[in-house]
Structure 1
């Protein structure tokens, strides 16, 4: 039997829970459905708040064929099958989950189909599409942000699931006590999928003890204790105050950057409670290189080792190396000179018309290179004392540019700073 959350998926726009800023009367998606003038869109927000439900409801309300694929795991061949169906029927709605993981081959195949309207794409992602999705796809889609579900929305979905005898749990005649319902909603933390599937587990794992006087129907009352026993894992995509996942990882990074060990451990604990080890490891790796960087390369390497250890161990044991890394990074000297340097270099590449690579630096390992003047005049540094000789490396119009501005907040970075300044002056003097 399919999970309750799947069975309760809305069949039309009226059954969607929450997201009234998009599907309420007079709102954009409802207007599109009512006019049958659909355009491709990207829905983004945390898991379990209605991305798939809205796509399913749009298909049900418009009677278009509806197909679901995953950008990460489904192949181009499966996309071709959906496209063939769209060609035959005129239009097919494709829900493409994890659209931020769409590779270039699939993207190039999809683009003309979106242009022609053969496929109406509804992309679903937990990532910010303005950062994680290619401009080519974004430009062909409207982007809609889904909001966390209000407690009243979750209650409405629970009531519907408990009373629906065809797809829900109506045949069990379930009653939740007020404290059991409150616990269920709190444990779900805005993730309706987790809430409904947790409700089903509680119903199916709790013994039916009460019966009607006529013995024709059993009743089931679930108290807080039974609900607590059934819900062992907290789904913490949003905390009790509605803070988003990205707010949480932002606070985590800023606490380490600000050298507040206790705050950093607090936010680490909240991330650990959510069970999202992937996000923790990814963000901690970024923090190590972005905020500590050249001020303490050894701590950066140890943080990376801690991340690898946590990934190998999994949770809950992975919390131990992660805590070690967080404490050390928070207490370490800080430097952002590396990220500042590469961003300055990127800015020049993006905003300036750069001259060609100096001819003496071009590849000379092929027939005809010398005829083009490539590699001629290159001076081999290892043939000189201290393995260094003045030589132009930057394009002509960027000679003298300085991207690396070390701070010298630690002995290590101070040494880098002195070496950099010495070499920069020697280079400038040698090219005069």
Structure 2
């Protein structure tokens, strides 16, 4: 027997749970179906949230032939069979899973068929199509991002499966305790496929236990939290270090620390720890320390480097302890991006401006012939003066007076740096008049 999630696959758009921003009344995919103006599309988002369901529902709503292939494992010959069917019937809807893994040979075969409408392609992927899919395919498809399913959507799908006598579990007369349902929804983590298949295992295994206990005549199956816990498994998250989900996760991690939200920062750290990618965590923490805290709290930056070294020496699971210390300190620390802003501003001038030559007195004079070229001539040695400073031009002529460093003064340390910078700048300007 096919799994429950497969049997409960929607036959029309009204049976799809969630994704109302795409298939709700007046929304774009529903408009396409109702107007009979389907175009090729790419659906992307986490596993189990409705990509295949929407493709199946579109086919059911339009009565076109529906075929499903995998871009990574199915051959060009199988694509040719789908194309031949489309040629005979006029149009065939092809759900191509893992479309980001479509090779060039298959891509070149598909492109003219998409142009002619012989195949309406619905590509499904967990990867960001703007990064992972070739421009040639993207340009011929509309791209739709699916949203994670809300708890209400998941509960709606569970109820439908429990009541459906034909494809679902209606004949078992199942009752879920509140805590069993909550566990099922929470453990599924938005993956409806995993949720429904876990539900079916719970129902069927509990039924077998009842039969073994001589309770075959009982009309209703009640599933409690313990029975549910033994029938489901925590859905594994997509932690591909090259995948879109990874970059979203490290982005959320950095933005939470930058925004000084300790609880959110620890949440995303926990998810990164579960991925097991200690190298990526340590690298991102180094970036955060210098980019977002920087000169506002150099001690915290130093503490982070010590914590990173400790984490690498310890390895998981103990590495979580110094990592948590660093994250909490960085999150609660004063913030400043003045250093990264300063160097980026300087880089923009280097890339885009005629910044001119290095002043001759600053050029290297430690080789034979340098004096004849005028290199080093006129250079004033600061250590020969009081406070080891003397006014002198260091910037090229075209950039004299340029100020890249814009200290914010968000901490006592940076206020001190700001005062020193402004004092020296003013002394330099007055001294060169």
TM-score (norm 1): 0.62
Q: Is the 8 A contact 2:174 2:223 kept in 1?
A: yes
Instruction: Summarize the Cα distance change of 1:53–1:334 in structure 2 as closer, same or farther, 3 Å threshold.
Output: same
Q: Is the 8 A contact 1:188 1:235 kept in 2?
A: no
The structure 2 residue matched to 1:354, chosen from 328, 352, 358, is 352
State the match for 1:242 in structure 2.
none
1:301 aligns with 2:305: yes
Q: Is the 8 A contact 1:47 1:191 kept in 2?
A: yes
SS for the counterpart of 2:352 is coil
State the match for 1:364 in structure 2.
none
Shift of 1:65: 3.2
State the match for 1:223 in structure 2.
224
Matches for 1:18-167 after TM superposition, within 5 Å = 18-59=18-59, 61=62, 62-69=64-71, 74=72, 88=84, 89=86, 93-95=94-96, 97=98, 99=100, 120-125=121-126, 140-162=140-162
Structure (1 or 2) with the larger CA radius of gyration: 2
Output the CA distance in 2 between the equivalents of 1:325 and 1:106: 49
State the match for 2:184 in structure 1.
184
Instruction: Summarize the Cα distance change of 1:12–1:236 in structure 2 as closer, same or farther, 3 Å threshold.
Output: same
Mean Cα deviation higher: 337-346 or 13-22: 337-346
Shift of 1:16: 1.9
What is the root-mean-square deviation in Å for CA atoms of aligned residues? 5.8
Instruction: Summarize the Cα distance change of 1:270–1:26 in structure 2 as closer, same or farther, 3 Å threshold.
Output: same
Output the CA distance in 1 between the equivalents of 2:24 and 2:235: 30
State the match for 1:405 in structure 2.
406
Instruction: Summarize the Cα distance change of 1:213–1:289 in structure 2 as closer, same or farther, 3 Å threshold.
Output: same
Mean Cα deviation higher: 117-126 or 246-255: 246-255
Shift of 1:55: 2.8
SS for the counterpart of 2:228 is helix
Q: Is the 8 A contact 1:82 1:92 kept in 2?
A: no
Output the CA distance in 2 between the equivalents of 1:406 and 1:106: 55
Shift of 1:264: 1.0
> Any unmatched runs of 5+ in structure 2?
239-245, 368-375, 382-391
Q: Is the 8 A contact 2:257 2:265 kept in 1?
A: no
Q: Is the 8 A contact 2:210 2:216 kept in 1?
A: no
- After superposition, the C-alpha distances for 1:111-156 in whole angstroms (9 at most, x for unaligned) are 95666656625354476x7899898876654343434434443233
Q: Is the 8 A contact 1:406 1:414 kept in 2?
A: no
State the match for 2:372 in structure 1.
none
State the match for 2:262 in structure 1.
264
Q: Is the 8 A contact 1:309 1:321 kept in 2?
A: no
Shift of 1:222: 0.8
May I ask how many residue pairs the two structures share in their alignment? 387
Shift of 1:323: 0.9
State the match for 2:325 in structure 1.
324
Output the CA distance in 2 between the equivalents of 1:276 and 1:43: 27
> Any unmatched runs of 5+ in structure 1?
238-244, 362-377
State the match for 2:208 in structure 1.
208
